[in-house]
Amino acid sequence: MIGRAVLSRGAKLAAAASVRRGAVGASLTAHHGAATQMISAREFSAFMDAYDEHVEERKAEDIVPRPLNAEQMSDLVEQLKNPEKGEEERLVELLESRVPPGVDEAAYVKASFLTAVAKGETESPLVDRKHAAKLLGTMQGGYNVAPLIELLDDEELGQIAADALKHTLLVFDAFHDVEDKAKAGNAMAKEVIESWAKAEWFLKKEKVPEKITVTIFMVPGETNTDDLSPAPDAWSRPDIPLHAKAMLKNPREGIDDAMKQIAELKEKGFPLAYCGDVVGTGSSRKSAINSVLWHMGDDIPFVPNKRTGGVVLGGKIAPIFFNTAEDSGALPIEMDVDKLKMGSVVDIYPYDGVVKDHESGEEITTFKLASDVLFDEVQAGGRIPLIIGRGLTAKACESLGKEPSDVFRVPGKIEPKEDQGYTLAQKMVGKACGLDGVLPHNYCEPIMTTVGSQDTTGPMTRDELKDLACLGFQSDLVMQSFCHTAAYPKPVDVVTHHTLPDFIRNRGGVSLRPGDGIIHSWLNRMLLPDTVGTGGDSHTRFPLGISFPAGSGLVAFAAATGSMPLSMPESVRVRFHGEMQPGITLRDLVHAIPYQAIQDGHLTVAKQGKKNIFSGRILEIEGLPNLKCEQAFELSDASAERSAAGCTIELNEEPIIEYLKSNIVLLQWMIAEGYGDARTIERRIGKMEDWIANPVLLRADKNAEYAATIDIDLNEIKEPVVCCPNDPDDAKLLSEVQGDKIDEVFIGSCMTNVGHFRAAGKLLSQQEGEVPTRLWIAPPTKMDESTLSDEGYYSTFGTSGARLEMPGCSLCMGNQARVKENSTVVSTSTRNFPNRLGKGANVYLASAELAAVSAIFGYLPTPEEYLKKHEFLQKDADDTYRYMNFNEMDDYVAKAQGSK
Ligand code: SF4
C-alpha cells in the first residue's frame, strides 16, 4: 500500500470545514491561495478521507482494506480526472488493484471509465488511452469484454486489446463477436482466435515447479471446515482477510494461537503448507479454503483480497474440500503425514511423488497425485479457469477448422468390463451427460438441473458469480434460501437479506425469504426424478435424483454454466432387509449405517489411520422403496456425515408421484404469493407434470459393481442407535450410553419433518408441566410451523417450557443461538462436531422420539424406558407420520388455483 504524506486527519477536517465556510461566501486572501487549491481538491475527496480512515481501522486489525465498492469507484473516477497533487500514484494503484473484477458493480464503474478514456470520450491526466486499454485487459471478463472487442478496430489500441483478449477467458457468447470480426477480416480478431486455439492463455502461465519448498503447518487429527471457517464467524466469510483471522481460533492439540504460529513459521522464509491427518471434513465451505489460502497462498495480480496457489497435505482430504482446493488453484495431495512435523521445512517433488527433508535431502514420504490433471489446474489458476479455458480453446479450434488441442492433460477413460452394468448413481449421472452411464473415476460434466444456495455461502457465491461475469443462470433452477441467518441476523446478514434476493431473481433464480425455513426442505420440493444437481451446503443431498454438494465457487459455476465438473466417485451399496421393529425410527436406520459399517470393519472412529468406506464415495441405499420422499431425505441428508460424495435412494414410483403432486401445488402457491422468478417456477411445474404423465425411473443394473456392500437386517435393530459426543461416526446402541444426564434437547434441523414434531408433541403431552431440560423446538419450514400451530402442538411445546425458534437451521448451524457451554445435549440435528452447537458441548445425535423422551427424563433412558413411552405413539402412527401433501390442504390449493 502506497503511503499518503499529507495533513493529519484533524487538520484535514478543519481545512475542509474552512473551505466549506469559504464556499458560502467568505473571500479568501491570496495568502491562502495555494492552500485553498489543495483543500478544494480535498473537498472533492471526502471518499479519500473515509478510505484513509478505513485503511487505518483495518490496519489496526492487521488486515488489508476492503476492495472498493461502486460508490467509492465513482468517487475515484472524479479524482482520476482531477487528481490532487501528491496523490497520483496512489489513485492509480487504487484503480489498478483495489477493484474486484467480473460483474461487480464497482467493476462496472471501472470498466465504463476505462472505456470512455480508451475511446477518447473522457480524459484523465493519470490514465491515457493505452493505459486504459491495458487496464481493461486485467479485468478478467464481464463488463470489459465488449469494449475490448470494440477496440480491436482501433488502429492505435487494436493490438493492446487483442493481447488482452488472448488472456481473457470469461468471454462466453462474446466469442462469436470476436469470431465474426475475424471472419470479416479484422487481423487483430484473427490473432485472438488463433491464440485461443493455441491455448496461449495457458501456455504462458507458469508450470507447477519440479520442487516446491514449504514449511509445514501441522494440525494433528481431523480439521473440519468449521475449524477453518467457524460458524459463529459466518457473517465475515465474504471478507476473506477478516474471516481468515478466525481460522483455528479454538485451541486444540498443537494449536494454541494459530495466527501467531503462522506468523512465526513464515519467518523461515518459505510458504506454508497446511497439513493434517484428516483435512476438510464437514460443510462445503469455500470460506474454509479461502482462509487457508489467505494465509498460505499467493496474491492474484489486479484482484484484491483473494489468493490462489498453496499446498494442502492430508492423510485424508475430504472430497468437497479437495474440490474447493482444486477450484481455487491450490495443490491438494493425500499422503502419509505421520512423519511431517510442525515447522519442518520440506521439498515436495510433485512430478516424482516424493517429499524430502529440505536440509538433509532425506526422503520422508511418497505419494501419488489424485490425477495428473491437477498440474494443469494449478497452472491455469484453478480447476474452474481450466475448464472454462479448455472450452474456449476447443471452440476456437473448431472455428478455425483445426483438430482439438492436445495441450491439456486428458484424464484416462474407464470402459465397462464385459457384462458390467451401472449403479443407479452411474445411470443418473450418465443421463445428465447424454450417456447410458458413467463409471467411477471417469471425468464428466453432467447437466446441473437444480442448484441450491444458502445464505452463509450465498454472498460468496454471489461474488463468484460476479467473478464469472454471470448475468443469467444457465442451470434450469437455482434457488437461494435464508435459513442460516434469519433468526438472529447481524447487520451484515440484513444487508444480504435485502440485496441477495434481487441478485438471484434478476438472473432467473428463485429466492426464498427470511423466515421461510431450511434450504433442503424447500429445494427437495423443486426436484425432478433422476436428475443431477448441486448446492453450496454440504447437506444438499437430494432424495430424488442425485446431488454433489460443492463449495461456493463450483456452485456459482454450475448455476452460471448449467454443468459441473465431476470425477465420478465409486459407490457403496447399503441394503436394508427385514422388518422394522417397534419403537425403531428412520433416524435409527440412519445411524445403523455407521453402526453396521463399524461392525463390518469399514469404519473406525479414531482419527489416526481412520478408515471410512463412505468417504468420497456415493452411498446407494436399497431395500426401503416405499419410503415417502420426506423420509428418504433423512437417509440421504445424513450421507454428509459419512463424508460421502453423494447418495441415491431406490424408491418406487408411487411415493414420488405423491410428492410431486404435492410440490406442484406448493410451487403454484409460491407464484401466487409473489415468489420469483415466476417463469423459472412455472417451467419447473411443467417438467414435474411431464414426469407424472410418464413416470419412469432409472434402476440399478443387477451386474453393477460397488466398492462394498453393507447389509443391514432390520430384524436385528431392536433399540435406538445414537451417535455419541462428538463424532457422527461414533454410533452406539442406546443401552451402551443409557443414564447419561442431559441438560438440553434440540428438535429441529433439515433432518426433521412435521411427523417428528407431532411425535415429540404427543410424547411431551404425556407429562405434566415443564420438562427438566432446556428444550429447543425449531420446525424446518414455515408451512410446518403453521400446521403444527393449527394442530395445537405449539400449545404442548409451550407447556413443556420449550423455547420455540423461527423456522430455519437454528442450533444446527451454530452461528445463532447456542446451547450452554459444556452442556450435554440430545439433538436431532445433522452433526455433532466439537463446539458446533455450543462451546464444549457434548452432543448425542438421536431421533426426535428419543430426544423428546430424554427431555422428559433429563437423562438418556434405558431402551425399556424409551420403548414404554414410545408405545403411546403406536396407537395413531398414521396421524403422527402424516406428511405435508399440499394438494390436500385447502388453503394452499385455493391460493395455487389463483396463480393459474
Ligand atoms: S439444518 Fe443444519 S445441516 Fe441442515 S441446512 Fe441448516 S445448518 Fe445445514
Residues 621 and 150: their CA atoms lie apart, in Å, by: 55
Domain that holds residue 320: 212-380
357 CA to middle of ligand 1, Å? 43
The DSSP letter of residue 103 is T
Percent of the chain with pLDDT over 90: 83
Mean pLDDT of the chain: 92
Contact 809 CB / ligand 1 (< 6 Å)? yes
Residues 567 and 429: their CA atoms lie apart, in Å, by: 11
Contact 584 CB / ligand 1 (< 6 Å)? no
Number of domains in the chain: 5
In the block, residue with C-alpha cell 474440500: 321
Residues 467 and 761: their CA atoms lie apart, in Å, by: 48
Q: Indicate the top mutation candidate among 750, 811, 836, 845 to test ligand 1's pocket, ranked by most ligand atoms within 8 A of CB.
A: 750
End-to-end CA distance of the chain: 58
Q: Is the pTM of this model over 0.85?
A: no
* Residues 122 and 218 reside in one and the same domain: no
* Residues 521 and 658 reside in one and the same domain: no
Give the number of the atom of ligand 1 that is nearest the alpha carbon of residue 831. 3
Contact 519 CB / ligand 1 (< 6 Å)? yes
Q: Say if CB 79 and CB 45 are below 8 A apart.
A: yes
| CA neighbor of 489 nearest in space, from 733, 808, 75, 728 | 808
Cα-atom radius of gyration of the chain, to the nearest Å?
Answer: 29
Question: The domain spanning residue 108 has which CATH number?
Answer: 1.25.40.310
Residues 294 and 242: their CA atoms lie apart, in Å, by: 10
* Residues 22 and 155 reside in one and the same domain: yes
Indicate the residue among 527, 542, 567 that finishes a domain. Answer: 567
Give the number of the atom of ligand 1 that is nearest the alpha carbon of residue 830. 3
Q: Say if CB 804 and CB 777 are below 8 A apart.
A: yes
CA 621 to chain centre: 25
pLDDT at 435: 94
* Residues 29 and 96 reside in one and the same domain: yes
* Band (463; pLDDT cuts 50, 70, 90): confident
Contact 750 CB / ligand 1 (< 6 Å)? yes
Residues 900 and 896: their CA atoms lie apart, in Å, by: 7
| CA neighbor of 13 nearest in space, from 42, 52, 54 | 42
Q: Say if CB 615 and CB 642 are below 8 A apart.
A: yes
Give the number of the atom of ligand 1 that is nearest the alpha carbon of residue 749. 1
Give me 91's grid cell.
489513485
483 CA to middle of ligand 1, Å? 8
Indicate the residue among 380, 407, 425 that finishes a domain. Answer: 380
Contact 811 CB / ligand 1 (< 6 Å)? no
> Would you say how long the chain is, in residues?
900
Contact 829 CB / ligand 1 (< 6 Å)? yes
Residues 456 and 573: their CA atoms lie apart, in Å, by: 33
539 CA to middle of ligand 1, Å? 7
Q: Indicate the top mutation candidate among 813, 816, 827, 833 to test ligand 1's pocket, ranked by most ligand atoms within 8 A of CB.
A: 813
Q: Say if CB 676 and CB 511 are below 8 A apart.
A: yes
In a domain, 397, yes or no: no
pLDDT at 25: 28
577 CA to middle of ligand 1, Å? 30
In a domain, 277, yes or no: yes
pLDDT at 45: 67
In a domain, 751, yes or no: yes
* pLDDT exceeds cutoff 90 at 371: no
- 182-201 per-position pLDDT tens digit: 999 999 999 999 999 999 99
pLDDT at 388: 93
In a domain, 326, yes or no: yes
Residues 698 and 434: their CA atoms lie apart, in Å, by: 14
* pLDDT exceeds cutoff 80 at 28: no
Contact 813 CB / ligand 1 (< 6 Å)? yes
pLDDT at 526: 98
- 753-780 per-position pLDDT tens digit: 999 999 999 999 999 999 999 999 999 9
Question: The domain spanning residue 782 has which CATH number?
Answer: 3.30.499.10
Which residue CA neighbors atom 3 of ligand 1 most closely?
A: 830
CA distances in angstroms from 366 to 113, 122, 214, 263, 355, listed in the order given? 52, 59, 16, 28, 6
Q: Indicate the top mutation candidate among 456, 520, 523, 828 to test ligand 1's pocket, ranked by most ligand atoms within 8 A of CB.
A: 520
Residues 189 and 367: their CA atoms lie apart, in Å, by: 45
Residues 753 and 783: their CA atoms lie apart, in Å, by: 10
- 100-112 per-position pLDDT tens digit: 988 889 999 999 9
573 CA to middle of ligand 1, Å? 25
In the block, residue with C-alpha cell 524430502: 356
* Residues 197 and 170 reside in one and the same domain: yes
813 CA to middle of ligand 1, Å? 6
Percent of the chain with pLDDT over 70: 95
Contact 487 CB / ligand 1 (< 6 Å)? no
* Residues 196 and 148 reside in one and the same domain: yes
Give the number of the atom of ligand 1 that is nearest the alpha carbon of residue 829. 2
* Residues 504 and 538 reside in one and the same domain: yes
Strand order in the sheet with 450-453: 510-511, 477-480, 450-453, 532-535, 546-547
Which residue CA neighbors atom 4 of ligand 1 most closely?
A: 750
The DSSP letter of residue 345 is E
* pLDDT exceeds cutoff 50 at 792: yes
* Residues 334 and 449 reside in one and the same domain: no
> Looking at residues 452-467, what average pLDDT do you find?
90
In a domain, 154, yes or no: yes
* pLDDT exceeds cutoff 50 at 392: yes
* Residues 321 and 460 reside in one and the same domain: no
Question: The domain spanning residue 691 has which CATH number?
Answer: 3.40.1060.10
Contact 749 CB / ligand 1 (< 6 Å)? yes
Residues 499 and 492: their CA atoms lie apart, in Å, by: 11
* pLDDT exceeds cutoff 50 at 428: yes
285 CA to middle of ligand 1, Å? 13
pLDDT at 284: 64
> Looking at residues 45-57, what average pLDDT do you find?
88
476 CA to middle of ligand 1, Å? 24
**Bridge partners of 311?**
273, 331
Which amino acid, one-letter code, is at 508?
G
Residues 492 and 483: their CA atoms lie apart, in Å, by: 15
Residues 852 and 866: their CA atoms lie apart, in Å, by: 10
- 513-524 per-position pLDDT tens digit: 999 999 999 999
492 CA to middle of ligand 1, Å? 20
Q: Say if CB 139 and CB 111 are below 8 A apart.
A: yes
- 600-650 per-position pLDDT tens digit: 999 999 987 889 999 999 999 999 999 999 999 999 999 999 999 999 999
Give me 637's grid cell.
441428508
Which residue CA neighbors atom 6 of ligand 1 most closely?
A: 809
Which residue CA neighbors atom 2 of ligand 1 most closely?
A: 812
Contact 552 CB / ligand 1 (< 6 Å)? no
Give the number of the atom of ligand 1 that is nearest the alpha carbon of residue 520. 5
* pLDDT exceeds cutoff 50 at 47: yes
Give me 202's grid cell.
495457458
* Band (44; pLDDT cuts 50, 70, 90): low
Contact 538 CB / ligand 1 (< 6 Å)? no
* pLDDT exceeds cutoff 50 at 214: yes
Question: The domain spanning residue 282 has which CATH number?
Answer: 3.20.19.10
In a domain, 4, yes or no: no
Q: Which helix (H) or strand (E) holds 635?
A: helix 629-637
Residues 806 and 487: their CA atoms lie apart, in Å, by: 6
Indicate the residue among 380, 396, 428 that finishes a domain. Answer: 380
**Bridge partners of 533?**
450, 547
pLDDT at 11: 36
* Residues 542 and 604 reside in one and the same domain: no
* pLDDT exceeds cutoff 50 at 17: no
* pLDDT exceeds cutoff 80 at 137: yes
- 530-544 per-position pLDDT tens digit: 999 999 988 999 999
In a domain, 596, yes or no: yes
In a domain, 684, yes or no: yes
Residues 228 and 279: their CA atoms lie apart, in Å, by: 10
Strand order in the sheet with 571-577: 646-649, 618-622, 571-577, 708-713
* Residues 486 and 373 reside in one and the same domain: no
Give me 54's grid cell.
478505513
| CA neighbor of 24 nearest in space, from 9, 52, 43, 2 | 43
pLDDT at 471: 83
pLDDT at 12: 36
Which range is most confident: 321-330, 572-581, 834-843?
A: 572-581
pLDDT at 27: 31
What is the three-class DSSP state of 45?
coil
Contact 149 CB / ligand 1 (< 6 Å)? no
pLDDT at 283: 73
* Band (4; pLDDT cuts 50, 70, 90): very low
* Residues 53 and 129 reside in one and the same domain: yes
Give the number of the atom of ligand 1 that is nearest the alpha carbon of residue 780. 1
159 CA to middle of ligand 1, Å? 52
